[in-house]
Amino acid sequence: MESLIALIGQNNVILFFLLFARISGLFAFFPFFSHGNIPVSLKTSITLFMVIFLYPLVPPIQFDASLLSLTLAVMSELMIGFVAGLFLSIVFAILQLAGMQISFVMGFTMASVIDPQTSTSIPLMSQLLSLIGLMVILAVNGHHQMLLFISESLNLLPLGSFYPQTNIIVYLGQAMAGMFVYGFILSFPVLAFSLLLDVVFGMLMKTMPQFNLLVVGFPIKIGVSFIVLITTLASMMLIFKKEFLEVMKHMTLLFVP
């Protein structure tokens, strides 16, 4: 093994290992590539193929071969994937937050399913909107843009040189605030019609005491909510697509040292 390393070159082996760590981190935390339904063996094979494919694009750099430097460099590369995946996960969290609010007004709060992407229990409408959002990302070639981000990061950020900067922390704070704002915007049509129906049902209960709200009211509320959701679904996905593309557009700027 030592003779093979000496033949290939110690610096080349280190660069190959760091590139493998960077792509592994990105594939482990990016929303689409980290999906739980994709086998780990397939993820590892794709990661190795991407490393072999992108290795000629790595700019030559001299790196310290000490154990401490290698450990810090590997942790730095894994942190790139974690931070970049967090940016994209916040965009998907907008749909999940909107789905939670919609499920609450529709009475589907207890109807939870296991999200295979995060392995957590989320409301049914959140899972539905997340899957539709994932199909929108595939339709606009969002997965290709993620691969282009990996390629461009090799020139913008040398291997082993990443560290969290102030602009990343500021951007994450703004993204978290925007997540709640856009989540409320996406769910507002359903929430507004639900509130209107509550007012109507309240008036009926006053004028017609024999009106059974549990038997008649909730099915009407669920049906109207579905109609409003289907009507506004295209607009919701357009807002989601705009936010996703905006994140992909500015994400490379955040990693410039």
Backbone angles phi, psi at 175, to 5 degrees: -65, -40
Q: Stretch 122-144: mean pLDDT, rounded? A: 80
For residue 154, give the nearest of 17, 3, 22 by alpha carbon. 22
Range of the domain at 29: 2-254
Reported confidence tier of residue 20, pLDDT bands at 50, 70, 90: confident
Give pLDDT, residue 100: 83
Q: Stretch 144-167: mean pLDDT, rounded? A: 75
Give the tens place of pLDDT for each residue, 83-119: 777 888 888 888 888 888 888 877 776 666 555 555 5
C-alpha–C-alpha distance, residues 221 and 107, integer Å: 9
Of 45 and 67, the one with more pLDDT: 45
Least confident of 75-84, 182-191, 223-232, 240-249: 75-84
Give pLDDT, residue 114: 59
Q: Stretch 147-157: mean pLDDT, rounded? A: 77
Q: What is the mean pLDDT of the chain?
A: 76
| Structural domains counted in the chain | 1
Amino acid at 200: V
Highest-scoring range by mean pLDDT, 7-16, 22-31, 37-46, 224-233: 224-233
Q: Is residue 148 within 8 Å of residue 54, measured between CB atoms? A: no
Reported confidence tier of residue 4, pLDDT bands at 50, 70, 90: very low
Least confident of 31-45, 193-207, 236-250: 31-45
Running DSSP on this structure, what letter comes out for residue 122?
E
Q: Stretch 213-217: mean pLDDT, rounded? A: 70
C-alpha–C-alpha distance, residues 58 and 155, integer Å: 7
How is residue 217 written in tokens?
A: 């009211």
**Range 201-240 burial, b when 16+ CB lie within 10 A, else e:** beeeeeeeeeeeeeeebeeebeebbeebbeebeeebbeeb
| pTM higher than 0.75 | yes
